[in-house]
């Protein structure tokens, strides 16, 4: 079957009213591949602004959400709140959430399940650190992270997996197309064996890790690379180039 290519732009802790107004204007005027699903994820305080001003064929995602609907959780945002203001997607389990904010595999699995129940689509991030890759533990790490999600999720219809080798995020280092394909293929095989052949075939697996306008087309040729989760380059004009990476293949 054909899985629709998806490109996400994770703005992280970047932007201002002025900057994001210009960024959205550029995207609105961009000649974007209509065969690609595009999702952008600005900081929380700009979510509604971006959602209301961006073209309708580009979806908007929260960068995180909590695993409770409401309560005494100062500083947190509920999946239901994102849904309430018209947000369609949320990014969960990003390596920065795991590393800096110490979110556990189990917590991320619970967050994914809660967000899905609230009606959001989820980009669920997994990936290994440099020492884990050096010590040949890549498969072990991604399997552990996948299992925590699979233990909490029964319906994978609205889940997209983002494989992000931590050693390649913001470093300028990029997994070779062969390295990316190798891990993406392993993820799909794990889903086939541990969830179902149908889920393995239908679930999209994005690659994230210093994707830019120069390497996107080559990476997109790999059979199990179904899209990109883009960090820094999503704040630049080359994001349009990345979104159109498959247009001429």
Residue range 12-47, pLDDT digits in tens:
999 999 999 999 999 999 999 999 999 999 999 999
User: Residue 245: is its pLDDT beyond 70?
Assistant: yes
CB distance 111 to 149 below 8 Å: no
Tell me which of 94, 103, 114, 132 is the catalytic residue: 94
User: Residue 199: is its pLDDT beyond 90?
Assistant: yes
Domains of the chain (ranges, CATH numbers): 6-243 (3.20.20.70)
Backbone φ and ψ for 141, nearest 5 degrees, come out as -70, -50
Side-chain-facing half-sphere of 15: CA atoms under 13 Å? 26
What's the pLDDT tens digit per position in 207-217? 998 899 999 99
**CB crowding 192-226: b at 16 or more within 10 Å, else e:** eeebeeebbeebbbbbbbbbbbebbbebbebebbb
Please say if 94 is a catalytic residue: yes
Please say if 164 is a catalytic residue: yes
pLDDT mean across residues, the chain: 96
What's the pLDDT tens digit per position in 179-194? 999 999 999 999 999 9
The stretches of 17-129 forming alpha helices (DSSP H) are: 17-29, 47-53, 79-84, 95-99, 105-117
Banded model confidence at residue 172, pLDDT cuts 50, 70, 90: confident
What's the pLDDT tens digit per position in 79-106? 999 999 999 999 999 999 999 999 999 9
Distance CA 94, CA 106 (A): 14
Structure tokens at 72: 């005494």
CB distance 80 to 69 below 8 Å: yes
What's the pLDDT tens digit per position in 50-77? 999 999 999 999 999 999 999 999 999 9
Helix axes 138-150, 105-117, angle to 10 degrees: 40
pTM for this model (two decimals): 0.97
Distance CA 32, CA 217 (A): 15
Give Cα 7 distance to the centre of its chain. Answer: 8
Helix (H, G, I), strand (E, B), or coil: what is residue 237? coil
Tell me which of 37, 96, 132, 164 is the catalytic residue: 164
Amino acid 247: pLDDT: 86
Banded model confidence at residue 1, pLDDT cuts 50, 70, 90: low
Amino acid 84: pLDDT: 98
């Amino acid at each position: 079957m054909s899985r629709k290519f998806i490109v996400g732009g994770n703005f992280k802790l970047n932007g201002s009213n002025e900057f994001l107004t210009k960024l959205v204007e550029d995207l609105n005027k961009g000649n974007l591949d209509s065969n690609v699903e595009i999702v952008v994820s600005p900081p929380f305080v700009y979510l509604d602004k971006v959602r209301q001003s961006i073209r309708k064929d580009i979806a908007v995602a929260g960068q995180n959400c909590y695993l409770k609907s409401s309560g005494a959780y100062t500083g947190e945002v509920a999946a239901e709140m994102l849904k309430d203001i018209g947000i369609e997607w949320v990014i969960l389990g990003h390596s920065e959430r795991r590393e800096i904010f110490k979110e556990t595999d189990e917590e991320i699995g619970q967050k994914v399940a809660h967000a899905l129940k609230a009606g959001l689509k989820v980009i669920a991030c997994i990936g290994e650190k440099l020492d884990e890759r050096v010590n040949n533990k890549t498969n072990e790490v991604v399997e552990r992270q996948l299992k925590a999600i699979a233990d909490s999720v029964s319906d994978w219809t609205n889940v997209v997996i983002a494989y992000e080798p931590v050693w390649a995020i913001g470093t300028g280092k990029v997994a070779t197309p062969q390295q990316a394909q190798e891990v993406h293929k392993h993820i799909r095989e794990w889903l086939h064996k541990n969830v179902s052949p149908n889920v393995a075939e239908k679930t999209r697996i994005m690659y994230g890790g210093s994707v830019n306008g120069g390497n996107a087309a080559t990476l997109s040729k790999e059979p199990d690379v179904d899209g990109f989760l883009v960090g820094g380059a999503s704040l630049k004009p080359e994001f349009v180039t990345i979104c159109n990476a498959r247009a001429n293949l």
